Every structure is written in C-alpha cells, then in structure tokens.
C-alpha cells in the first residue's frame, strides 16, 4: 500500500512571539497534526501494511528543513511544490489533487487542520474534488478486507463515531490518534540520502489563484483585570453603568 502524507510547515505554536503569517522569521515546524499523520503512516508500515510513504508539501525552499525532519522520522521520499504565495485551503486542495492523481496512493493521511490558520478544510475539499470517501478527525485507523476498506474512529461533538470507508480515501488526523516519535540520529543520517523532488504548479499543469485573502492577523485584545466589589448593590451598579449589560 502506498500512503501519501501532505504536510505543512507552520510557525512553531510553542513560540509565543509569533503573530501573523511569516511575520519576521519565526521558527518553523511540521504542523503538529501532520506530524501525527506521518507517525501513523510509519506505524502502518511497521506493522507490514504499507510499502511506501511519500510526503508532500507546498512552499519556498525554506521549508526544506521541515521536509528533512519528515524524512528523518522515516518517510521514504518527499515532493515539494515550489510556491511561496499565500494560498488558501481551496488552492492547496486543487494543487494536492493533481499530485494525488499522479501518485495514485491507496490512502492519503493528513492533519485535520494547520495550527496557523485552523481552517480544517483541505482534507475535505480534496476528498470532494477527487470524489473519494473521507474520514475526518480520526483517532483510530484499521485496514480491512485486504486493505480495500478502512474502519476509522472519529472524534465528534457527540462522542466517538466509527465509520467504514472504501479505499482510496482521505483521512484527516486528530490529536488522540498517536504521539509522534522524536527524530533519531540514525534517522537524520538516513534522511540525507533520501530524495526531495521539487515541482512547480506549471509542471503539474495546475493554475490556482486564492479565492480568499488574509487581510490582517492580530492578537485578541488583552483581557482587562477584574475588580472586586463589596456588595451586590455595587455589582448591579457596575453592571448597569460600566459594563452596560443591564
């Protein structure tokens, strides 16, 4: 089975100084949900159910660092679509769709959302464009019927939902699916010999222009300190006069 894992390079969510896309030069990491997807692909291969894992990312040469990290974790090869534009989820889905038709994987496993924009759209859009089944926010994956189907547990508002989908399909990962491994030194050494293929949208024969634009990004307003009141009367007065909610 061939598994395709699209992943995104995002500003490190643990770095509190980052505001706005590509603000200064923040530290970048593999999107945590995509890391979970990579980890799952590796585990599927380790239990003998997959033969090849291909990573895909879209970005400028600076994202090669995240590609090396993914290769060091254990994916076999990677493709970078060279494009530094700010793309929206639909544009990303349209680009990935062309690559998926080219690579013909049995399953695509990817993070449910990127932590920089939290859109949670690409996987679903991709499935729609390909007319493939989808399983989103997945916390467990099992392959059945000699890998013609997948049984997936999904994390929904109502609780856990189990669905069965035919392959090929798009699966998006949720937090509880697994805990990704750390990159090992042997992994890093092996990664140097693995290939990164660079393609452009032109070479793929796909032209996209984003249909949404980010106008601005800002921190939410700081929460003001609370004040203590001495009596219910004072509280009511403040609610009327200051907060104006009564």
| Interacting residue ranges for another protein, rule: CB under 8 A | 88-90, 93, 118-129, 131, 133-134, 136-137, 154-158, 163, 210-212
Ranges of H-type helices in the chain: 32-46, 64-73, 89-103, 122-130, 185-191, 201-204, 232-241
H or E element in which residue 77 lies = strand 77-82
**Given the complex with another protein, which of 163 and 196 has the nearer CB atom?**
163
Residues for the chain: how many in total?
246
Of 193 and 219, CB closest to another protein: 219
Rounded distance, CA 78 to CA 56, Å?
6
Nearer to another protein, 118 or 242 (CB): 118
Q: How far is the CB of 166 from another protein (least distance, A)?
A: 10
Cis before 168 (ω within 30): yes
CB 153 within 8 A of CB 138: yes
Please count the helices (runs of H) and the strands (runs of E) in the chain.
Answer: 7, 11
Cα–Cα distance between 178 and 36 in angstroms, integer? Answer: 6
Q: In whole angstroms, how close is the CB of 224 to another protein at the nearest point? A: 19
Q: Whole-number minimum distance, CB 95 to another protein, in Å?
A: 13
152 three-state secondary structure: strand
Element (H, E) at 31: none
Least separation in angstroms between residue 180's CB and another protein is: 23
* Closer by beta carbon to another protein, 157 or else 230: 157
Q: How far is the CB of 150 from another protein (least distance, A)?
A: 14
Decide whether 120 or 238 has the Cβ nearer to another protein: 120
Contact (CB, 8 A) for 139 and 153: yes
30/93 with CB nearer another protein: 93
CB of 23 to another protein, least distance (A): 21
């Amino acid at each position: 089975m061939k598994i395709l894992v699209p992943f995104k390079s995002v500003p490190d969510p643990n770095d509190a100084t980052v505001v706005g896309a590509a603000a200064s030069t923040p530290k970048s990491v593999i999107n945590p949900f995509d890391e979970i997807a990579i980890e799952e692909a590796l585990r599927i291969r380790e239990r003998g159910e997959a033969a090849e894992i291909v990573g895909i990312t879209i970005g400028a040469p600076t994202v090669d660092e995240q590609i090396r990290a993914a290769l060091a974790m254990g994916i076999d090869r990677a493709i970078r679509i060279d494009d530094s534009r700010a793309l929206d989820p639909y544009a990303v889905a349209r680009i990935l769709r062309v690559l998926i038709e080219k690579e013909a994987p049995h399953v695509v496993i990817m993070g449910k959302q990127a932590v920089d924009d939290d859109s949670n759209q690409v996987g679903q859009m991709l499935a729609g464009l390909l007319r493939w089944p989808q399983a989103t926010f997945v916390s467990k994956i099992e392959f059945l019927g000699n890998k013609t189907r997948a049984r997936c547990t999904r994390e929904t508002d109502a609780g856990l939902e189990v669905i069965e989908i035919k392959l090929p399909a798009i699966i998006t990962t949720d937090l509880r699916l697994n805990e990704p491994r750390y990159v090992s030194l042997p992994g890093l050494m092996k990664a140097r010999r693995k290939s990164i293929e660079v393609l452009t949208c032109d070479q793929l024969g796909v032209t996209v222009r984003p249909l949404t634009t980010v106008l601005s990004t800002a921190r939410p307003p700081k929460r003001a300190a609370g004040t203590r009141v001495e009596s219910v009367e004072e509280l009511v007065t403040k609610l009327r006069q200051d907060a104006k909610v009564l």
